[in-house]
Amino acid sequence: MPKAFSVQKRETIREQLKMEARQCLQTLGMKKTTVDELVKRVHIPKGTFYLFYASKELLFFDVLMDFHNDIQADLLSGLEQKESIDTESLVCLLYSLFKRVDGSFLATMIQNRDIEMLMRKLPAHIVQEHMQFDDLNMEQFLSLLPVSIDEDRIQVFSAALRAIFLTMLHKAEIGAAVFDEALQLLLTGIVSQLLEETHDNGR
């Protein structure tokens, strides 16, 4: 980093880039959001951008991971605050987080299929690390339930929740009028089986 940038200034620029990237993803989409547009909004030279990110895709991924981490933190916090966990309460918590995503820039990315494009353009090792991170978060999530399940099933349940998340790609085909009800039904099926397995393993 240039010596002219203090630690605080570097952090300010990074946060401004992420804030503007998030706004652009929601209003313009990934294709139309250029590095030129981003640096114009943040009021920095184009060369400065590349001191922070090697590509706009890595910036978008950083924004995506920040949002992902916020959702995960809220999920874990919500579980920790519950005195007891049953299917209804867990479905309610997961559903509220899905709806939060549905009203965010991430929903726009999903509907525009920007997520698929982003994952194709990212280095393979970053995508793989993200998948492993998801599984680690799922393990932490499951640790707050009555008992844990084996590692293979952790990966299965993590994949199942990702699969439900990706149904937002096909909200129109599923039917916007019934989508929320269908989402709750899918979550209820997964949560019921999850709690049943943890109960069975605890016998």
Distance separating alpha carbons of residues 195 and 108, to the nearest angstrom: 32
Angle at 103 (CA atoms; ends 101, 109), nearest 5 degrees: 70
Average pLDDT over residues 46-55: 95
Phi, psi of 79 (to 5 degrees): -70, -45
| Residue 116 token pair | 């698929």
Average pLDDT over residues 154-176: 83
Q: What is the per-residue pLDDT for 197?
A: 64
43-52, 106-115, 137-146 — most confident range: 43-52
Q: What is the per-residue pLDDT for 87?
A: 87
Residues 59, 51 contacting (CB under 8 angstroms):
no
Q: What is the per-residue pLDDT for 60?
A: 95
**Between 34 and 146, where is the model more confident?**
34
Average pLDDT over residues 104-125: 86
**Between 37 and 192, where is the model more confident?**
37
Average pLDDT over residues 89-109: 88
Structure pTM? 0.76
